[in-house]
Amino acid sequence: MTSDTPEKSLSLKQRFDRWMIKHGRVLVIGIPYVWLFLFFLVPFLIVLKISFAMAEYAQPPYSSLFDWIEEGVTVTLNFGNYLFLLSDNLYATAYLNSIRIAAISTVITLLIGYPMAYGIARARGSVRSILLMLVILPFWTSFLIRVYAWIGILDREGLINAFLLWTGIITEPLIMRQTEGAVFVGIVYTYLPFMILPLYSTLEKMDVSLIEAALDLGCKPWKAFLKVTLPLSMPGVLAGSLLVFIPSVGEFVIPELLGGPNTLMIGRTLWNEFFANRDWPIASAVAIAMLVFLVVPIMWFQHIQTKQEERQS
């Protein structure tokens, strides 16, 4: 192959072009690949490693797994962190609690979001785009600020209590912040736009004549909804529910700011192990457990979903 050996008569630019054609593809794949590999995949291997270490008063605060001695390397794996997660039912409780709170919040979000999405989809064109903009707007404003807004409302000295005391309905302030109910409010409030948008896009595409046909044939409106509209909007329901469930299950900020000390959620537990107890190995073990029991099932579910959609289309 004579073309492979660059001739001296080629200019620098020509050589560069040849090199790019030969290696450009590798370069385009390689740069994001290497970055994600180094800063996304490798960190998990390190978390896995440290989850087998022991906490120590040192900098960094964990023991080394490898000891270099004369004969070679000895590896000390400490399964104690995982045994501890199993023995102390704080962790199992936090895990189940997260799933329960996220699931209930997702259902509430669906119940509020569905009629809103339906109403927007059936609104006139100009009104519709304004309403959609109003749904999207809170998403771009700070998440922390929106959670914060509820502190002022639900607090012991907050606006609801002040109002109710002023009207004389209650004489003692109600405890609303630092309860599980406040966490539901926070999650529903924060993730409502995520539910409305996918629901809207499926409802908007839906053929209205199908419902009209059902009504013409004597179907009652609520039955037409249950038999026609709801099944047809299932992809939107599923997409919206996942978009709400996934971020809320690992949520830290909302239970921390609105929940009470007893509102255990797994993300908050990990945070406290790391920041309050400074126990890096236990925090790592919690992270690995979350990965196995939370993230992997979710990704697997999504994978099956996309496969099914591909098959259908």
Partner 1 sequence: MSGKRSTFLLSALVFGFAFLYVPILLVMIYSFNEGKLVTVWTGFSTKWYVSLFSNDGMIDAAWNSLRIGVMSATLALALGTPAGLVMSRFGRFKGRTLFSGMIAAPLVMPEVITGLSLLLLFVTLEQMVGWPAGRGISTITIAHTTFCAAYVAVVVQSRLSGMDTSVEEAAMDLGAKPAKIFFVITLPMILPALLAGWLLSFTLSLDDLVIASFVAGPGSTTLPMKVFSSVRLGVSPEINALATLIILAVSAMILISSLLILRSERNRSRASSTEEA
- Residue whose CB is less far from partner 1, 177 or 180: 177
Q: CB 245: neighbour CB atoms within 10 A?
A: 20
Are the C-beta atoms of residues 118 and 203 closer than 8 Å to each other? yes
For residue 132, give the nearest of 147, 143, 117, 142 by alpha carbon: 117
The C-alpha atoms of residue 79 and residue 149 are separated, in whole angstroms, by: 43
- Residue whose CB is less far from partner 1, 202 or 284: 284
- Residue whose CB is less far from partner 1, 53 or 180: 53
Are the C-beta atoms of residues 255 and 29 closer than 8 Å to each other? no
Rounded to the nearest whole angstrom, what is the least distance from the CB of residue 4 to partner 1 in the complex? 18
Rounded to the nearest whole angstrom, what is the least distance from the CB of residue 164 to partner 1 in the complex? 11
DSSP reduced 3-state for 74: strand
Rounded to the nearest whole angstrom, what is the least distance from the CB of residue 288 to partner 1 in the complex? 9
Rounded to the nearest whole angstrom, what is the least distance from the CB of residue 159 to partner 1 in the complex? 6
- Residue whose CB is less far from partner 1, 180 or 289: 289
DSSP reduced 3-state for 197: helix
The C-alpha atoms of residue 80 and residue 9 are separated, in whole angstroms, by: 67
Are the C-beta atoms of residues 227 and 218 closer than 8 Å to each other? no
For residue 286 the two structure tokens come to 């919690």
The C-alpha atoms of residue 156 and residue 176 are separated, in whole angstroms, by: 7
The C-alpha atoms of residue 133 and residue 267 are separated, in whole angstroms, by: 31
CA dihedral 263→192→305→226, nearest 10 degrees, is 110
The C-alpha atoms of residue 223 and residue 215 are separated, in whole angstroms, by: 9
- Residue whose CB is less far from partner 1, 71 or 98: 98
Rounded to the nearest whole angstrom, what is the least distance from the CB of residue 192 to partner 1 in the complex? 7
- Residue whose CB is less far from partner 1, 137 or 234: 137
Are the C-beta atoms of residues 164 and 172 closer than 8 Å to each other? no
Rounded to the nearest whole angstrom, what is the least distance from the CB of residue 279 to partner 1 in the complex? 12
Rounded to the nearest whole angstrom, what is the least distance from the CB of residue 3 to partner 1 in the complex? 16
- Residue whose CB is less far from partner 1, 22 or 93: 22
For residue 28 the two structure tokens come to 């385009």
φ, ψ (nearest 5 deg) of residue 62: -155, 160
Rounded to the nearest whole angstrom, what is the least distance from the CB of residue 148 to partner 1 in the complex? 5
- Residue whose CB is less far from partner 1, 149 or 234: 149
